[in-house]
Amino acid sequence: MILDPVEILKQLVAIPSVNPMDREPTGPIFGEARLTDFLEETFSRIGLTTFRQPVSPGRENLIARLDGDAGSAREGRLLLLDAHQDTVSVEGMTIEPFQPLQREGRLHGRGACDVKGGMAAIIAAAARLADRRPSPRPTIVVACTVNEEHGFSGASRLTKLWDEDGGEIVPRRPDAAIVAEPTGLDAIVAHKGVIRWRCHSLGCAGHSSRPVAADNAIYKMARVVAAIERYAAELETAGPAHPLCGRRTLSVGTIRGGSSVGTIPDRCTIEIDCRPPPGESPEEARQQLIDHLSQPAITSFPLEHDLPFMSGPPLSDRDNERLADRLSRSAGEVVGRCRRLGVPYATNAAFFAAAGVPSVVFGPGSIEQAHTADEWISLDQLRQATEIIHRFCLSFF
Ligand SMILES: [Zn+2]
């Protein structure tokens, strides 16, 4: 069965799969379950074997496999194609998020760019392979993973597929992975990691008519925030920069403290985001900041640092050169060029690379349009991506 990637994309956008963040994955728009059902049905219809891999309650990776011409997934090459099922929130959007709108060569809707466009291209390419069964061809495993936008738990769980969870569906470690993200049809061969955690300052509650500055948790945190700002500025020029990804960055994204203007706050909490380039460990980068802040010259009071609530490793360009060569060739045949780039955002690819699978990030659409109020994707790029992925699969044997 031949599927049109534009029609598939419209169907994908019309099915809400908003990442629930810290909420329950239920209700009319939250969670991936509705999309998981649709994907299972679609892959079965085009002749792929499917498997559900539980990740957390109500949230499952959907895996689909098309055997290569070697006859079984144990023989011949095995290629993993990954796209995440979840989208970011729809708050503040200026268009109807789940009513796909086709206009002037673009498709608008939440997820159209990040990353249902990439997912539609993979599905259309897989459908064509399943329909024509060309030879030679590798075994293709399509992984539609959950929870990329808030913790990468789907990708992390997926790496258990070939040794613990799924023996049947993916009997061995894939030889390579392409991870869909909006890269504008360039190959992302390296990216930064990410680590996020909460930090608390403690004070002593009291009536604001008798303030004791030393015990005001907000005053303490103000000094911490200023120290982090200075430390982040020092990082901008400290040591050698990664050639594709630059230097480590740090930011404070939220601050909460106090219960009323009449009460001295006894607690203030910030959330810290740290992005180390390839070659640096997120956990070590976090510890370095904690050690820095604990110096008596910086803080004369104790701080509490929670364990990270999100952590993803960087992707290094050391192990994916041959894969990037091959993908660039397929992309070059279709669009004439394919740059190799590093980016500051983290993706599922680093989890597969850490599990020993050479991985590159690639897909239609621009990161500029991801997560935006009128998110859209170029339909020309969507069709080109389908062609590139199809060609790449045929070259991978
Ligand atoms: Zn994405």
Distance 149 CA to ligand 1 centre (A): 7
Distance 34 CA to ligand 1 centre (A): 18
Distance 130 CA to ligand 1 centre (A): 26
- Residue 370 in contact with residue 300, Cβ under 8 Å? no
- Residue 105 in contact with residue 379, Cβ under 8 Å? yes
Distance 394 CA to ligand 1 centre (A): 25
The domain 5-191+314-395 belongs to what CATH superfamily?
Zn peptidases (3.40.630.10)
What does the alpha-carbon distance between residue 161 and residue 99 come to, in Å, rounded to a whole number?
34
- Residue 220 in contact with residue 268, Cβ under 8 Å? yes
Residue-range domain boundaries for the chain: 5-191+314-395, 194-312
Measured CA distances, 295 to 216, 231, 303 (Å): 20, 13, 11
Distance 102 CA to ligand 1 centre (A): 21
What does the alpha-carbon distance between residue 206 and residue 209 come to, in Å, rounded to a whole number?
9
194-312 has the same fold as 5-191+314-395: no
| Fold type of domain 194-312 | Alpha-Beta Plaits (3.30.70)
Pairing of strands 249-257, 267-275: antiparallel
Distance 349 CA to ligand 1 centre (A): 11
Nearest residue to 316 via CA among 272, 367, 286, 352: 352
Distance 170 CA to ligand 1 centre (A): 24
What does the alpha-carbon distance between residue 235 and residue 261 come to, in Å, rounded to a whole number?
36
Distance 148 CA to ligand 1 centre (A): 7
What does the buried/exposed string (b/e) look like for 138-176 if buried means 16 or more CB atoms within 10 Å of the residue's CB? bbbbbbbbbbbbbbbbbbbbbbebbeebbeebbeeebbb
Distance 354 CA to ligand 1 centre (A): 19
The CA-based dihedral angle spanning residues 305, 310, 315, 319, taken in that order and rounded to the nearest 10 degrees = 100
Distance 20 CA to ligand 1 centre (A): 15
What does the alpha-carbon distance between residue 230 and residue 314 come to, in Å, rounded to a whole number?
24
Lookup: tokens for 319: 């192990």
What does the alpha-carbon distance between residue 127 and residue 1 come to, in Å, rounded to a whole number?
6
Element (H, E) at 222: helix 217-235
Residues 6+ apart with CB under 8 A from 71: none
Q: Is 58 left (phi over 0), alpha (psi -120 to 50) or beta?
A: left
Amino acid occupying residue 59:
R
Distance 83 CA to ligand 1 centre (A): 8
Distance 84 CA to ligand 1 centre (A): 7
Distance 116 CA to ligand 1 centre (A): 9
Lookup: tokens for 41: 């049905």
Lookup: tokens for 157: 């769980």
Lookup: tokens for 172: 């061995």
Distance 344 CA to ligand 1 centre (A): 13
Amino acid occupying residue 331:
A
pLDDT-flagged residues of the chain (< 70)? 165-166
Distance 238 CA to ligand 1 centre (A): 30
- pLDDT for 165 equals 65
The beta-strand segments (E) located in 10-118 are: 49-56, 59-66, 78-84, 101-103, 106-108
Distance 248 CA to ligand 1 centre (A): 21
Distance 338 CA to ligand 1 centre (A): 20
- pLDDT for 330 equals 97
